[in-house]
Structure 1
């Protein structure tokens, strides 16, 4: 897998001014997925938006890991409900044609 699609945890922590242990906790709680290669640990670029959200919630609002897990779960439920509403809306409009 190409390293161009991921960044090392060390670089990421330096950029965001966060502790490596914070990212390890996020990984342990299933909030992000870190990958390991040789002696380095990486995060995929596609997860950076979620990481930024967790950084803001944790450091700015002082939400703990359990709270972050709950927020992730609720956001997923909202997304699923929005998708269901769109699907039902599309079905009702195609049925009226």
Structure 2
């Protein structure tokens, strides 16, 4: 793990105007993984898009952490179903090329 791939929780809190406890709650719920690098709690940069969505859901829709967990689980299921549907449509197009 390289330190340059991680962003400090404190920096994220300052940037997004949220409390450190928000990230702690996200970690407790299993929505993010906080890594400690040289005594600094950090998030991997790959999580930033999801964290931004979580913050917007929390602030704009006033949804609590448990609600965010439900929303993200539903989004995962929806994406999996969409992927499966695309795969099935591709297979079907082999047998019925003009159906779409």
Q: TM-score, normalised by structure 2?
A: 0.89
Shift in Å at residue 96 of structure 1? 4.8
Within-5 A mapping of 1:9-88: 9-88=9-88
CA-based RMSD: 1.3
Q: TM-score, normalised by structure 1?
A: 0.92
> Which has the higher Rg, Structure 1 or Structure 2?
2
Gaps of 5+ in 2: none
Q: Give aligned pairs, total.
A: 97
Shift in Å at residue 8 of structure 1? 0.7
Shift in Å at residue 93 of structure 1? 1.9
What per-residue deviation string (whole Å, max 9, x for no partner) do you get for residues 18-57 of structure 1? 1111011001101111111231111011111111111111
Gaps of 5+ in 1: none
